[in-house]
Structure 1
Amino acid sequence: MADADVRAATPSDATEITRIQVTTWRSAYSDLLPTEVLDDLDATTNERQWRQAVTEGPATVVVATEGEWVVGFCAAGAAPESEVAAADGTVPSDAATTALISTLLVEPRWGRRGHGGRLLGMMARRLTEGGWTRGVTWVPEADEATMSFFRGLGWDPDGTVRTLDASGRPLRELRLSGGLDLRFEQER
């Protein structure tokens, strides 16, 4: 494998981040989302939003590289109370130090090469340095690969479920939660 690394995203990465998002969603979520949702992904709008996220936040964005190629990315930041609250609306005592991993994607052709672990590992270190103590993320219940990845790191469903409307098709997501002191297989 060529040199693999993770670094902070720059505004010039927005095009590749968008391409990876569209490509990955169309590949990985073709069984979960209606065709019209995937066909309506607007690269121009998404690129503008990613460029803004990289330059202005509020999320931190990092990219995985292999050689000269950007192969994946991760975005995370402060979790809004609505993202950490229990189904009954109660907010946990650590809500102020809980981060939301809003996106973690590796382009399928670069999968199974450790990029996802490197992305989340770098993001977890950055979040910990910023005072965050725990992370949450939402994963489609039927996305077995992503569910397995997070569970392998000790992130488990915390009992909170949400159902999104994907152009008339319900998409059930589970909230996973876990610590930011990540240990990967090779580190154990």
Structure 2
Amino acid sequence: MTLADCDRVAQIRVGGWRSAYQGLIPQSYLDGLSVEEDAERRRTYLSQGDGSVVNLVAEGAGGELVGWACHGPYREGEVLTGDAELYAIYVHPDQVGQGVGQALLTESVARCSAAGHGRLLLWVLKENDRARRFYERAGFRADGAEEPFDVEGVAVPEVRYARALPR
């Protein structure tokens, strides 16, 4: 991902939230998401990062960005564990089910494995059945860890998934 990609990545991310999380988190939160503010956050993260976070983009047949994934070190609190975490993976709603997410996930798994991480972990909304099936088909399993994600005072439970990485 480059700085020039940040606007499109923000469109994909905000569109992904509005599509995937409708009915799972408060609608007022989804309605308040701003593509412009998200794009600015992406630019800040990209320009000020230390290189430990990897941002990947996927292009469609016409060269337009249709997906984004982001991974980096996994932390327990502030302690690095040696594992990696998939922080985000979003596909433009029009492209869901077309293999874009699978391609991004496959590349993240390969890069995390090549970097020597033993596991790749991620957090997913407990009620997001579609995402959970996606990760389970890719070899991830819920490991029993759960935590609430607070959205406008509403506790939205998340579950952690893990997958061992080949070395």
Q: For residues 39-50 of structure 1, what are the structure 2 equivalents within 5 Å?
A: 39-50=31-42
1:170 alignment partner in structure 2: 155
2:111 alignment partner in structure 1: 126
Give the percent of matched residue pairs that are identical in Structure 1 and Structure 2: 28
1:77 alignment partner in structure 2: 72
Q: For residues 106-185 of structure 1, what are the structure 2 equivalents within 5 Å?
A: 106-181=91-166
- Residue type at the aligned position of 1:160: A
Shift of 1:42: 2.5
Task: Quote the Cα distance in structure 1 between the aligned partners of 2:19 and 2:147.
Answer: 23
Q: Tell me if 1:12 matches 2:4.
A: yes
Shift of 1:43: 2.2
Shift of 1:135: 0.8
Shift of 1:28: 1.3
Equivalent of 2:56, from 49, 52, 62?
Answer: 62
Paired residue total: 163
- Residue type at the aligned position of 1:112: G
* Larger strand percent: 2
Shift of 1:44: 2.4
Question: What residue ranges of structure 2 are gaps of 5+ in the alignment?
Answer: none
Residues 112-148 of structure 1 deviation map (CA, whole Å, 9 limit, x = unaligned): 1111111011111222222212111000011111100
Question: What residue ranges of structure 1 are gaps of 5+ in the alignment?
Answer: 1-8, 84-90, 182-188
Task: Quote the Cα distance in structure 2 between the aligned partners of 1:111 and 1:171.
Answer: 23
Task: Quote the Cα distance in structure 2 between the aligned partners of 1:54 and 1:66.
Answer: 22
Matched residue SS, 1:32: coil
Shift of 1:97: 2.0
Give the TM-score, by structure 1 length.
0.81
1:38 alignment partner in structure 2: 30
Task: Quote the Cα distance in structure 2 between the aligned partners of 1:65 and 1:52.
Answer: 22
Matched residue SS, 1:45: helix
Residues 8-46 of structure 1 deviation map (CA, whole Å, 9 limit, x = unaligned): x11111001100011111111111111111122122221
Equivalent of 1:22, from 14, 31, 37?
Answer: 14
